[in-house]
Structure 1
Amino acid sequence: MVETELGEWRRSHYSKDLDASMEGSDVTIMGWISSIRGHGNITFLTLVDKMGAIQVVAKKGSSPDDLVQSISKLKEHSSIGLIGTVKTSEKAPNGIEISPKDLRIFSSVEKIPPFDPHAKTVKNIDTRLEIRAIDLRRNALQQVFKARSNVLKSIRQYFYDHNFTEINTPKMIATATEGGAALFPIFYYNKEAFLAQSPQLYKEQLTMSFEKVFEIAPIFRAEPSRTNRHLSEAISIDFEEAYVDYNDVMSRIEQIIKQTILTMQEFSKDNDDVEFTIPEISDTIPQYTYSDLLEKIQATGAKSQWGDDLYPAQLNKIGITGFYFIKDWPVGPKPFYVKVS
């Protein structure tokens, strides 16, 4: 009977650790089955782990008969562990394959998901969300998560390299941070509280002791909007620095953006199957004053007045795209953010 518990088994190698120099060695591998097919007395399966994939070939005469039979009954997405021998094979995708000697089935699939794990796109979003954990096994989606992880790591490292202290501020607060219109109310025991919109006030206080602080954490904004600029929940990259002005802040932001793009370019070189576009950036991010842009927008016939917000569609119309800074805003619309000059 095939064991179904991990027991004393532990992975000895990831797929990427295996190569032809290990021929004849016994290894313990674990992962999920992305494909399986039988040809007479032989069953081929591809086992996927965090680092890649490896071919497993269960053949009568080379592996125990009961093991070959158990493997032949497995379905895609089943989670298993194998002890087997490394063998070289010119036909195998990586030049090697595993001849199994023992098997443990941690999770056996009864019904195969209604989409191909190798598919780049799946149209039915409801089906995907119902089994999101399986949907995320598709490489196209995994690349997004891995790229995001690399970017966050790079940004954190930037702050550490520039002597910032990482902080964690409360996400349940008693009063609004930036005005009450965009707050999610919650019950905190017998009192009303809110999900934090921003760590702004905490950052400002902490610079009095630490001078330079940063936080990468969720923010919550109850703004009913269908644009990708107004998510109800998002990850915000916040920093605060003492003894600087807004010019220094813009310089800091520019450095972070450039490092992020460089990180993405390096990720793309190592992963030639990425499906997202990496934005380009000029040597220096251009800066515009609010007054100059408003004048150009008004010249297009727009009814915008002094103090109105500037919208992406208006800016695109006058050729302002990509990365840019808008400075010297009027105090009225943004009193919380704008310092009188």
Structure 2
Amino acid sequence: MTKRIHYCYLLTRTLPEGGCRYYVGIRTAPKYRTPESDSAYMGSGRAIRRAVKAHPGAFSKTILDVFDTREEARAMERALVGLETANSKWSYNLVTGGEDSGLASEETKARISAANLRRFEDPAEREKTGAASRSVWASLSPEEREAIGVKRGATNRRRYQDPAERKRHRAMLKERYADPDYKTRHAESVSNVNRSREGRARNSAGNLKRYANETPKQRAARIEKATERNRALAQDPAWLEKNAAAVRRPETRAKLSASERKLCEDPAERERRSARQLKRYANETPDQKAARRQAISEGRQRAKAERARVQREVQWILAALLLNKYAA
């Protein structure tokens, strides 16, 4: 069996005004082919492919080194193509080398961001892109989806180790959410996912997996942030009214009731809820305990008064019916 060859190469194009532009890449040569006989291959990057198409025959290819494994070729590319190279106006490399790093230059990030924003301003383009993404994702096996998720997670974790990258990402999100149209589209997209059982199950599984990998410090920070957000919502009259109106709808109440009944049929769920309540009661201060008991007492009194009012109304209706019957 013929062994495949992995090599690192350099493409150069001499400019009419002097100087040259270049591109560094790696290649796994097809079977029965040596690096020298693979001269037709000129790279897979978007910028270099456009340049080769725009300037046919203007590039010269130099084989820098040949390796037994692709990992060794990646290591050389990673050493040659750093951020300084990716930021250079003479380089066709848009990201750092090594395939697994993927750090783009600031100029490249700006161009990609501007192009994406222009493209997603068109509703038809957004729908087309979304349909294509859903189709591709649906065609993947669970193992392939899991592998993509792991790779994306590793990339994001590596990227967020850079304070400048975190700051840039927060600024980008803040700018996006300042646009009412974007907020509306995002809310609609989230609602569409949550309407399906598969979407809710997928989100739940992802959250549970993420929570399981949290450190105690991260978990405490997440809980504190969620608590602050809930407290702020509880003080917002508009949100309270909106939430109360949603709960008052018959279909919502029926759905909540069915969900609760289904959950409470599980002995483990009942035990978990009981343990959680006991733990919460054990951590209450005397003032909190008194306030809770007062709220329960007031709720029972209101319920009792409501039942008495309904009973009186029923009695009046029955009395009116009897009077009408005998009067006739």
Q: What's the TM-score once normalised by structure 2's chain length?
A: 0.25
Greater per-residue helix proportion: 2
**Bigger proportion of residues as strand:** 1
